[in-house]
Structure 1
Amino acid sequence: MALTDDAIDTIKSLIIAGEFPPGSRLPREEDLAQRLGLSRSSLREAVRALTAMQILVTKQGDGTYVSSLEPHLLLENLSFVADVSHGETAMQLLQVRRLLEQQATALAATRITDADVTRLDAILARSRRAADAEDVEEFIRCDMEFHRSIAALVGNPVLAMLLEVLSTQTQRVRILRGTRVGRAIEHVHREHETILAALAARDAQLAGAAAAVHVAAVERWLAESQTVRERP
């Protein structure tokens, strides 16, 4: 395993150094193994691992290429981490989301237009209908669309992607269903309305604070649901 890890690190270093730029084809397996001083089996293991990380792409009958290395590809594994996270890891992910979302929402307040406010209001109207019906899946879709739309106003796709993967649909549904669903949905909807009101007022400080309070409430629900599960 140590040889495979060394091979992974070496290939990463070559990519970072620009020797294998995004989209480029790696040398033939035999040549690359010889160059790196590895057995072909160790190299294959390294390539498989880097392919799973979306750093490399294997094309059947054509060879192995460096991926585009776009952030959305490299962050996909983090989405899986958020989906399966529980306990302390889930709490830590939400803490990071709270820090980023507060700043993103504050910045969005300085860039939002009347048309953006109208669009966000329409999302919350759909969210209200879902809340009234206690339709968790639809409510979460609206929830994600609301936050995604706010993050998009910042104009930084890396930040938007980070925020989205830090709290996935799977994670949000799990947290909501770990609480009293009806009450939790109502609270989330009211918090969304508070965020939108601050954005509409172009009040960056209030918008950021409202976003922080919103994510902090989700953290609290997660902590409470974990406490319930841990009780004897």
Structure 2
Amino acid sequence: MAVTDEAIDKIKGMIVSGELQPGEKLPKEADLAAKLGLSRNSLREAVKALSLIQILDVRQGDGTYVTSLEPNLLLGAISFVVDFHHDKSVLDFLQVRRILEPAATALAAERIDAEGIAKLRALADAPSPDAGHEALIEQDLRFHHEIAVFSGNEVLCSLLETLSSPTTRARIWRGLTEDDSWLRTIREHHSIVDALENHDAAAAHAWSTVHTSGVEQWLRRMA
């Protein structure tokens, strides 16, 4: 194992064990290096690497802290990778979305309240196509984001948010090339909300699968 990798593992071990808590300041460099049996150079490299993936926060003149370790923060590195694969792997991202979003919708069916249903019902009533594709896509994204939030699972919500960027382009293409795609989207949105309102997790999962499969199937036909 490379020295820097060993240093990273040791710092990670302190965080996983709870010895270092989210938001806590790391000991002074010399003290931490001695405690972990590392050179100060290898410790610096490890800190630099962990700060790039937002596990550590280096504050000039103050010290180094463990971040909040919130899922949306830690998944930033995945979002960075996603941005480089819009064209080459969009079908792969759509496939992952098709796996994850129905699961989030099923969870939401168990947890959503009347206020949440009203919010989703309003979002399901998409604006007129005359509003333009950007407005339609924006409302569609909000609809799916709210369902993920109602799942109550922050990691799942963050993953789906990360996947929205590469799949949005495909959804726009479909809307521009299929005349009835928006009407079908509205119908499917309402079917999803109906299942959520009935707290029917199985139906919510099924309708979400049908809905998320649409763009993927269209893109496969176009490929």
What is the TM-score with the length of structure 1 in the denominator?
0.80
Q: CA deviation at 1:198?
A: 2.9
Structure 1 pair 180–21 and aligned structure 2 pair: CA distance change class (3 A): closer
Q: Which residue of 2 is the match for residue 173 of structure 1?
A: 168
Structure 1 pair 64–182 and aligned structure 2 pair: CA distance change class (3 A): same
Structure 1 pair 190–17 and aligned structure 2 pair: CA distance change class (3 A): same
Q: Which residue of 1 is the match for residue 22 of structure 2?
A: 22
Aligned ranges 1:1-80 → 2 under 5 Å:
2-80=2-80
Q: Which residue of 2 is the match for residue 153 of structure 1?
A: 150
For 2:61 and 2:37, the matched residues in 1 are separated by 25
- Percent identity over the alignment is 47
Tell me the matched-pair count: 221
For 1:22 and 1:180, the matched residues in 2 are separated by 43
Structure 1 pair 223–48 and aligned structure 2 pair: CA distance change class (3 A): farther
Judge conservation of contact 2:195–2:204 (CA < 8 Å) in 1. Answer: yes
For 1:85 and 1:201, the matched residues in 2 are separated by 38
C-alpha offsets along residues 153-195 of structure 1, whole Å, 9 cap, x if unaligned? Answer: 2333333223222x22x32332234446252545434432332
Q: CA deviation at 1:107?
A: 3.2
For 1:187 and 1:2, the matched residues in 2 are separated by 54
Structure 1 pair 17–143 and aligned structure 2 pair: CA distance change class (3 A): same
Judge conservation of contact 2:174–2:215 (CA < 8 Å) in 1. Answer: no
Structure 1 pair 186–2 and aligned structure 2 pair: CA distance change class (3 A): farther
Question: Which stretch has the larger CA shift, 87-96 or 156-165?
Answer: 87-96
Question: Which stretch has the larger CA shift, 51-60 or 94-103?
Answer: 94-103
C-alpha offsets along residues 56-107 of structure 1, whole Å, 9 cap, x if unaligned? Answer: 0111111101112122211222222333334675444433332232122123
What is the TM-score with the length of structure 2 in the denominator?
0.83
For 1:69 and 1:216, the matched residues in 2 are separated by 32
CA RMSD of aligned residues (A): 2.7
Judge conservation of contact 2:93–2:166 (CA < 8 Å) in 1. Answer: no
For 1:190 and 1:83, the matched residues in 2 are separated by 31
For 1:202 and 1:24, the matched residues in 2 are separated by 41
For 1:5 and 1:221, the matched residues in 2 are separated by 44
**What are the ranges of 5 or more consecutive residues in structure 2 without an aligned counterpart?**
none
